């Protein structure tokens, strides 16, 4: 079978690495890919958002199955167009991808189907938004409704910060059209978890649990990023908690989405707050988490290609996913300055030596190759991912590999996995 993966991050490197192991995978392409993906797939220079380019490549090369990594092309309708052309694809339709594309749409779904989440209101007019803030007080959370590359959420400690957030998002249009509407939410307290379920339209199959580290610095200090590290399993999601998440959040979502004419297919990623009152939904993403996917793919024992195909073909009712018992932990190495401004083009050495550490994979995110040298080409650059008997053992291996990487212009958090290890 000929497979095309869409995307260029560590998530897509991990997906390509896992898919390439399948005996059913004859040819593997990735658009646009990166220097690490080149080791397991053929990178093709087509942007993830170039839907016409992707459709053309698929037709010209007889691609049988397309796995879409990032949300952008999903929201833009890539899966709809592929399916209309008779090509199998992993990922939701544009209508279902709107659950990530519009935070307000997801909140309305929660309200309609009694799915636990933070109390909220939607506004498309700044004065009304500020009036709501004045009445409700702080702390309070202000969110741009649309896609803002993970930056559209502002946690406000006092009302002045919240008013400023409204100005920033609505009046100054910091996120363009994505901020034409805002969602204002109650601030929830608890521990976060990333929960993934494969959904084939009817059946939802939970994957193993994971936790991300959004803040840039140790101890969860500093601004939020796309994710500085992840591990699996996440002990905060006990088997009882998982059952509640499925019953109270995932199952009513799948039913409600179908009833509302947006049947879901693909991986549904629930960002959760585990509160004293139980699990509450923060938001939905319509794709794998990055870097959570890197940890999940290291733990996956089943054939990844067959698993993703089973989801796309609606065969999950008979499917059982097998996992390795070991824990996995992923440390993100980023360019100095990220998530603010950072330099590109700095050289990274020692990747071979890092990859020699037992049970370690160095997935590439923002990298490029230049005459045999590997150069940084983005904010999040490398994802050093290890397996171990426990989260602590995986952490030790991952940092052993990190120490072998010679990249003076890069940095990473030194405490990935701390919540699991502290328990």
- By the criterion CB under 6 A, which residues form the site for ligand GLY? 150, 212, 226-227, 285, 289-290, 292
Q: Give the position of tokens 């080791």.
A: 39
Burial class (CB in 10 A: 0-12, 13-18, 19+), 84: exposed
Give the nearest distance from C-beta 190 to ligand AMP in angstroms.
Answer: 8
Rounded to 5 degrees, φ, ψ at 98 are -60, -20
Which residues make Cβ contacts (< 8 Å) with residue 244, sequence separation at least 6? Answer: 278, 279
Burial class (CB in 10 A: 0-12, 13-18, 19+), 411: middle
Give the nearest distance from C-beta 391 to ligand GLY in angstroms.
Answer: 17
Q: Would you say 33 or 289 has its CB closer to ligand AMP?
A: 289
Q: Would you say 118 or 381 has its CB closer to ligand AMP?
A: 118
The separation between CA 34 and the C-alpha centre of its own chain, rounded to angstroms, equals 18
Residue 111 interacts with ligand AMP (CB under 6 A): yes or no: no
- Residue 171 tokens, joined: 């009046």
3-class DSSP state for residue 108?
helix
Give the nearest distance from C-beta 155 to ligand AMP in angstroms.
Answer: 6
Q: Which helix (H) or strand (E) holds 300?
A: none
Rounded to 5 degrees, φ, ψ at 405 are -90, 125
Report the residue closest to ligand GLY, judged by CB.
227
Q: Which does 282 bind (CB under 5 to 8 A by kind): ligand AMP, ligand GLY, none?
A: ligand AMP
Interface pattern 221-260 for ligand AMP (x via CB under 6 A)? ---x------------------------------------
Among 59, 128, 187, 277, binds ligand AMP (CB under 6 A): 187
Among 257, 282, 335, 391, binds ligand AMP (CB under 6 A): 282
Residue 185 interacts with ligand AMP (CB under 6 A): yes or no: yes
Give the nearest distance from C-beta 95 to ligand GLY in angstroms.
Answer: 21
The separation between CA 83 and the C-alpha centre of its own chain, rounded to angstroms, equals 23
- Residue 89 tokens, joined: 């694809």
Q: Is the bond preceding 233 in cis, omega lying within 30 degrees of 0?
A: yes
Residue 169 DSSP label: I
Q: Would you say 54 or 141 has its CB closer to ligand AMP?
A: 141
Q: Would you say 30 or 147 has its CB closer to ligand AMP?
A: 147
Which residues make Cβ contacts (< 8 Å) with residue 33, sequence separation at least 6? Answer: 8, 12, 16, 41, 42, 43, 44
Half-sphere exposure of 289 (CA within 13 A, CB side): 32
Binding footprint of ligand AMP, residue count (CB under 6 A): 14
Task: Tell me how many degrees the CA angle 145-149-150 measures, rounded to the nearest 5.
Answer: 75
Residue 281 interacts with ligand AMP (CB under 6 A): yes or no: no
CA dist 360 → 167, 219, 307, 331, 410 (Å): 45, 24, 23, 11, 19
Q: Give the position of tokens 């544009």.
A: 94
Site for ligand AMP in 112-171 (CB under 6 A): 118, 141, 150, 153, 155
Give the nearest distance from C-beta 259 to ligand GLY in angstroms.
Answer: 27
Q: Which does 290 bind (CB under 5 to 8 A by kind): ligand AMP, ligand GLY, none?
A: ligand GLY
Q: Would you say 117 or 194 has its CB closer to ligand GLY?
A: 194
Which residues, in sequence order, are bridge partners of residue 333?
382
Give the nearest distance from C-beta 292 to ligand AMP in angstroms.
Answer: 12
Q: Would you say 19 or 144 has its CB closer to ligand AMP?
A: 144
User: Rg of the Cα trace of the chain?
Assistant: 21
Q: Which does 292 bind (CB under 5 to 8 A by kind): ligand GLY, ligand AMP, none?
A: ligand GLY
Q: Would you say 224 or 390 has its CB closer to ligand AMP?
A: 224
Q: Which does 85 bind (CB under 5 to 8 A by kind): ligand AMP, ligand GLY, none?
A: none
Rounded to 5 degrees, φ, ψ at 364 are -95, 140
Q: Would you say 228 or 351 has its CB closer to ligand AMP?
A: 228
CB 220 within 8 A of CB 316: no
Q: Which does 279 bind (CB under 5 to 8 A by kind): ligand GLY, ligand AMP, none?
A: none
Q: Which does 118 bind (CB under 5 to 8 A by kind): ligand GLY, ligand AMP, none?
A: ligand AMP
Give the nearest distance from C-beta 91 to ligand AMP in angstroms.
Answer: 19
Q: Which helix (H) or strand (E) holds 197?
A: strand 191-200
The separation between CA 328 and the C-alpha centre of its own chain, rounded to angstroms, equals 16
Site residues, ligand AMP (CB under 6 A):
118, 141, 150, 153, 155, 185, 187-188, 192, 214, 224, 271, 282-283
């Amino acid at each position: 079978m000929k497979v095309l993966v869409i995307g260029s991050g560590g998530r897509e490197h991990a997906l390509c690495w896992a898919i390439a192991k399948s005996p059913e995978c004859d040819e593997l392409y990735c658009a646009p890919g990166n220097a690490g993906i080149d080791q397991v797939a053929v990178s093709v220079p087509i942007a993830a958002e170039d839907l016409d380019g992707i459709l053309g490549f698929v037709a010209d090369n007889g691609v049988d199955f397309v796995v879409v990594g990032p949300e952008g092309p999903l929201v833009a309708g890539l899966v709809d167009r592929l399916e209309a052309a008779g090509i199998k694809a992993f990922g939701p339709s544009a209508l279902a991808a709107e659950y990530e594309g519009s935070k307000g749409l997801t909140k309305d779904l929660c309200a309609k189907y009694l799915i636990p989440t933070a109390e909220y209101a939607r506004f498309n007019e700044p004065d009304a938004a500020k009036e709501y803030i004045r009445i409700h007080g702080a702390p309070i959370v202000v969110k741009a409704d649309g896609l803002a590359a993970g930056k559209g959420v502002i946690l406000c400690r006092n009302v002045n910060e919240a008013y400023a957030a409204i100005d920033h998002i609505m009046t100054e249009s910091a996120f363009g059209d994505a901020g034409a509407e805002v969602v204002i939410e109650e601030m929830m307290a608890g521990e976060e978890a990333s929960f993934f379920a494969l959904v084939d339209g009817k059946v939802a199959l939970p994957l193993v649990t994971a936790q991300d580290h959004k803040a840039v610095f140790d101890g969860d200090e500093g601004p939020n990023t796309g994710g500085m590290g992840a591990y699996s399993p996440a002990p905060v999601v006990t088997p009882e908690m998982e059952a509640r998440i499925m019953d109270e959040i995932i199952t009513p979502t799948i039913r409600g989405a179908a009833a509302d004419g947006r049947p879901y297919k693909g991986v549904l990623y629930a960002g959760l707050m585990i509160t004293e009152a139980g699990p509450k939904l923060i938001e939905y993403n319509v794709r794998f988490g990055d870097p959570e996917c890197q940890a999940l793919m290291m733990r996956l024992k089943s054939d990844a290609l067959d698993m993703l195909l089973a989801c796309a073909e609606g065969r999950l009712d008979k499917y059982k996913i097998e996992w390795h018992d070991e824990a996995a932990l992923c440390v993100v190495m980023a360019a100095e300055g990220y998530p603010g401004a950072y330099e590109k083009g700095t050289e990274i050495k020692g990747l071979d030596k890092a990859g020699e550490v037992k049970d370690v994979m160095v997935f590439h995110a923002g990298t490029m190759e230049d005459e045999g040298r590997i150069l940084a080409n983005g904010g999040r650059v490398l994802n050093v991912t290890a397996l171990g008997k426990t989260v602590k053992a995986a952490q030790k291996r991952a940092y052993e590999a990190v120490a072998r990487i010679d990249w003076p212009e890069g940095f990473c958090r030194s405490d990935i996995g701390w919540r699991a290890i502290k328990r």
